Amino acid sequence: MRAILGLISRNKGFITFMLCMVMFRSAIADWNVVPTGSMQPTIQIGDRIVVDKAAYDLRLPLTHLILLHRADPQRGDIVVLDSSAAGERLVKRVIGLPGDQVALVANRLYVNGQSAAYRPIAVHGIRDDREDPARYAIETLGPLRHPVRWSIAAQGHGHDFGPVTVPAGKYLLLGDDRDNSADSRYFGFFPRSEITGRATRVAVSLDPGDHYLPRRGRWGTPLP
């Protein structure tokens, strides 16, 4: 015991620093590795994203206890949540706010009866294009403006969804890769209490299809 206390005493500066870092990452800001393509092309497989954990709430470090409510997610935000329905941490985009009516008709988004507009774009660097050719577009609906991806060869995925009305205290979340995302179409509406932060930018990006070499053009890129 005396040896342990002596070790702590000699390294108390380092231990204090590590504790502060743990609390900072738990309550203020963190980074997450994205292992799937459900948010392509916005977030690519191998991206490490910065998460502002104080964007909506200030929480007691290492817990989900909210100390101060700061704001609520807005349509278009990319949020990180600890989903009880999915049993894992998810990264998705807010599409429907409480009270909104949302539908997908042939993969075209409708919110409160208003149709999104789509402008085709070219996207390069998505490694699975040859096996799973896709179309890309900018989806615009009011303040919502971001890229989406549709798989040309998708089978068994619902291109039609809803209309559904988002209940109070919950949100409808979708992936930007509309034909390859397990989101509110599978898990239902997500409670506000499960949303723990907002993803703001790509910190670093490593390409798992190329020996995890860096994708330097994506480092520090803001997320639309």
- Prior bond to 41 cis, omega within 30? yes
Distance CA 111, CA 95 (A): 8
Q: Which residues pair with 31 in a beta bridge?
A: 50
Enumerate the domain spans of the chain. Answer: 30-218
Question: Within its chain, how far is the Cα of 222 from the centroid?
Answer: 13
pLDDT digits (tens, 9 = 90+) for 107-126: 999 999 999 999 999 987 77
Distance CA 13, CA 158 (A): 55
Which architecture does CATH list for 30-218? Ribbon (2.10)
DSSP 2: H
Q: pTM, whole model, 2 decimals?
A: 0.86
Distance CA 209, CA 205 (A): 12
pLDDT < 50: residue spans in the chain: 4-8, 14-27, 29, 129-130, 156
Residue 95, H or E segment: strand 88-96
Q: Which residues pair with 48 in a beta bridge?
A: 33, 204
Whole-number pLDDT of residue 144: 93
pLDDT digits (tens, 9 = 90+) for 119-173: 999 987 775 544 567 899 999 999 899 999 998 766 545 589 999 999 999 999 9
Contact 164, 101 (CB under 8 A): yes
**Which of 49, 55, 58, 82 minimizes the C-alpha distance to 71?**
55
DSSP 38: T
Contact 66, 58 (CB under 8 A): yes
Alpha helices, DSSP H, located in 11-100? 12-27
Question: Within its chain, how far is the Cα of 202 from the centroid?
Answer: 11
Question: Would you put residue 137 in left (φ > 0), alpha (ψ -120 to 50) or beta?
Answer: beta
Token pair in block for residue 102: 């949302």
Whole-number pLDDT of residue 211: 84
